[in-house]
Structure 1
Amino acid sequence: MKNILLAVTGLSPQVLTETLYALHQQGQIVQSIQVITTRQGKEKINAYLLSPTDGQYYSYLKDYGINPSSISFCAENIHVIKDRNGIEIDDIAGEDDNERLLELCLSLTFQFTSDSQNTVFFSIAGGRKTMSACLMTAAHLYGRPHDRVYHVLVSPEFESNRDFFYPPRESVSIELMDRNGEQYVKETRFARITLTSVPFISVRNRIEDDLLKEPQDPPTLMLSLIREEPPSLTIDLITCKLIFKGRELDMPPTRLALYAFFASIKKDCLRTDTNCRHCADCYLNSIAIEQRNNEIAELYKRIAFSRDFHAMREASDGGILNLDEANFKSYRSRIRRDLERGFGLSASRMLEIASTGKRPDTRYGIPFERERIRMIF
């Protein structure tokens, strides 16, 4: 069994040595330390903890007689949050940074909890509050009952002191500052570090097995927790919305008309002796789709006029009235992106206009079960 400490930190790297000390005091052995932080946080860790000459992490190990080779903690174990361009961020300054933080927390938590031989100790004591919240969310989603979430409480006068990293075996005097800004000296033997176990609810066993093969985006994971027996798809042509598992997706009239056409083909299928999900008898090839373009056009006109759109202008621009193989593929690709955005990647695979067979015998249709499709005209 391997114990992994997965922690978030900001500009106070002391939280790592304090947490490690507290775990060791409770007899919890750690074989690996993994850290989620910013670019500035990484620099602080390298300067104050991992410096080969005076790093406080190595001082702690030496002070307490711990073999450095028994714990994996090096530059490769420091995971820095990056923006969409792959550049390390200095701080979590906005919604996009927070989204990237959550993605990193989910990815690393998924990685470390995928091995049943690992136990993960989540440390939420460091960094901004949003960092703790994101790591806690990852623990809720991917954590297992034997994993643990910890917070570390340090005596207030020592907590904010930049020279205090852990209580050394031999007590030393360090300068502290009181509430009035006056300096005074106090022995480190008075420092108290308390490791607090934070209860968390593991929902991992409620996530669909297919979603535990690789890290997923948060919307997909959240949708998988919404249990409907069975989930249904509503295509509302009046409001131009798709409704699935309690979520609504607005779709432009052109794409909705094409999607509704394939949904109608699926619902009109008369086969009853096979599993609809894995049957492609109602799928159409490109020629058949073009031959039935008038049905798609009628759906489009009905939708556009019901929503008070400028129907004829949109029809001439969009190509939905003169569908060919090229613009069909373009519409199909956009519909897939709509579904991913609205319902997540896993759901989109069930709901998309899928293809089967190789060219020139490729055929298209919706794999979702016909009895779970409802259309509102």
Structure 2
Amino acid sequence: MQPKRYLVALSGMSPQVVTETLYGLLQREGEAFLPTEIHILTTAKGAERVHRALLDPILGHFHHFCRDYDLEDRLALAPQHIHVAQAEDGRPLSDIFSQHDNTAMADFICETVRRLSEDADIQLHASLAGGRKTMGFFLGYAMSLFGRPGDELSHVLVSEGFESRPDFFYPRPSDRLCGESTVEVMLADIPFVPMREELPKNFLTHKRSYSEAVQIIRAAEQPADLKVDMAGKRVRASGIDISMSNSLLAFYAWMVDRAKSAQGGLAYPFEHEPNRVYGLEFTRFYEAVSGGEMRVNDRTARDEVEGMDRRNFEVRLSRVNTALRNALGNRLAEKYTLKYIDTERGVKQYGVALAPEEIEIK
């Protein structure tokens, strides 16, 4: 089965960057990255130029390129592969004229790369050539956010005198006129820093804005800021809400409260099992979160009557940490997860490794 390879290219008013990039990919040493599909990210004006210059049935240079290099059955560039950014009001973005347009373009590029990268069987090669400079920046950053091992980023370089010629699209095998046999088209590979593993899982599977993705990455470098509102049933870390059930929120609030009051973590494994003291402490937080509602068959009711056992403790701790990582990503969640805390006495304890001033609980 032929591997799926997508070329993701930017295009503004110079769509020849697409065929130049294709030519550069064919000329690379070693195994060539021959895309099975070409996806062009552009504006409404750019799309008109792409249709006219590349896809015209007679004059389209994409069709000429495929015939010249015997690729007619191997490259796919269809009208549905030309993706046009939308303005805030939902209309096709004509060009980038304002900050609102710039934000819309950033979100559009970020979301397109995220969506294309969802399929693990597709390898991406993104080209920064084409479009406005900000578009190239956003594409490069989107590849850092969502790129995977095996994905590539490049910029196409063309010999001086040819890069600005509106009639030059690629070196043709039979063309020896006007010195075009000496033209060089090559790709400069651009290594990118992968940050995909730092993003929450829902950022990889659901549409999110460019600014939200940047916020997640930046937050990992900022001081911790944790707010737990038991009455409001809300946990907010670094400005990001984390969804938890009443039981998990109460368990986390219990741990966070101990850090806030400098009580330290919870000794584990329990000296006595089940631990009646821990069971009573936890149920007080559960009542505060649930509004005093306790069901007879609820696990928390057994904690109050019988004490907390090791299994209940471990299950809740694991689920709390999973909820934090799903919402914050691995790197940012590390600030807030429940973990082993070393003590001077060498007693194994679990808690939140935060200073009291980094915590607000009510």
Paired residue type of 1:190: T
Paired residue type of 1:11: M
- C-alpha separation in 2, matches of 1:228 and 1:134: 21
Could you say which residue in structure 1 is the equivalent of 2:82?
78
1:374 aligns with 2:353: no
Could you say which residue in structure 2 is the equivalent of 1:191?
183
Equivalent of 2:67 in 45, 62, 72: 62
Taking a change above 3 Å as real, the CA distance of residues 273 and 16 of structure 1, as seen in their structure-2 partners, is farther
What is the CA-CA distance between 1:217 and the residue it aligns to? 2.4
What is the CA-CA distance between 1:231 and the residue it aligns to? 4.7
What is the CA-CA distance between 1:141 and the residue it aligns to? 0.4
What is the CA-CA distance between 1:82 and the residue it aligns to? 1.0
**After superposition, what is the alpha-carbon deviation per residue over 1:25-53, rounded to whole angstroms, capped at 9, x for unaligned?**
22221101001101110000000100011
Equivalent of 2:51 in 46, 62, 85: 46
- C-alpha separation in 2, matches of 1:272 and 1:230: 30
- C-alpha separation in 2, matches of 1:42 and 1:211: 28
- C-alpha separation in 2, matches of 1:87 and 1:138: 23
1:204 aligns with 2:196: yes
Could you say which residue in structure 2 is the equivalent of 1:136?
140
- C-alpha separation in 2, matches of 1:163 and 1:91: 23
Taking a change above 3 Å as real, the CA distance of residues 7 and 280 of structure 1, as seen in their structure-2 partners, is farther
- C-alpha separation in 1, matches of 2:34 and 2:64: 18
Contact 1:220–1:346 under 8 Å retained in 2: no
Could you say which residue in structure 1 is the equivalent of 2:316?
none
The unaligned stretches of length 5 or more in structure 2 are: 229-234, 241-252, 259-276, 292-325, 334-351
- C-alpha separation in 2, matches of 1:45 and 1:139: 23
Equivalent of 1:116 in 117, 120, 134: 120
Contact 2:226–2:359 under 8 Å retained in 1: yes
Equivalent residues in 2 for 1:168-317 (5 A)? 168-173=172-177, 186-225=178-217, 226-227=219-220, 231-233=224-226, 244-245=237-238, 272-273=278-279, 281-283=287-289
Aligned residues: CA RMSD: 3.8
**After superposition, what is the alpha-carbon deviation per residue over 1:157-189, rounded to whole angstroms, capped at 9, x for unaligned?**
11111111010011243xxxxxxxxxxxx2210
The percentage of aligned residue pairs carrying the same residue is: 28
Could you say which residue in structure 2 is the equivalent of 1:155?
159
Contact 1:33–1:71 under 8 Å retained in 2: yes
Paired residue type of 1:195: L
Contact 2:148–2:196 under 8 Å retained in 1: yes
Paired residue type of 1:374: I
Taking a change above 3 Å as real, the CA distance of residues 140 and 273 of structure 1, as seen in their structure-2 partners, is farther
Q: TM-score, normalised by structure 1?
A: 0.61
Contact 2:55–2:61 under 8 Å retained in 1: yes
Could you say which residue in structure 1 is the equivalent of 2:23?
21
What is the CA-CA distance between 1:375 and the residue it aligns to? 3.8
The unaligned stretches of length 5 or more in structure 1 are: 174-185, 236-241, 249-262, 286-344, 351-368
* Paired residue secondary structure (1:29): coil
Taking a change above 3 Å as real, the CA distance of residues 275 and 122 of structure 1, as seen in their structure-2 partners, is farther
Could you say which residue in structure 2 is the equivalent of 1:146?
150
Taking a change above 3 Å as real, the CA distance of residues 74 and 273 of structure 1, as seen in their structure-2 partners, is farther
- C-alpha separation in 2, matches of 1:64 and 1:210: 42
Paired residue type of 1:203: M
Paired residue type of 1:214: H
* Paired residue secondary structure (1:133): helix
Taking a change above 3 Å as real, the CA distance of residues 274 and 23 of structure 1, as seen in their structure-2 partners, is farther
Q: TM-score, normalised by structure 2?
A: 0.63
- C-alpha separation in 1, matches of 2:236 and 2:116: 35
* Paired residue secondary structure (2:288): coil
**After superposition, what is the alpha-carbon deviation per residue over 1:293-328, rounded to whole angstroms, capped at 9, x for unaligned?**
xxxxxxxxxxxxxxxxxxxxxxxxxxxxxxxxxxxx
- How many residues align? The count is 263
- C-alpha separation in 2, matches of 1:81 and 1:43: 13
What is the CA-CA distance between 1:103 and the residue it aligns to? 1.1
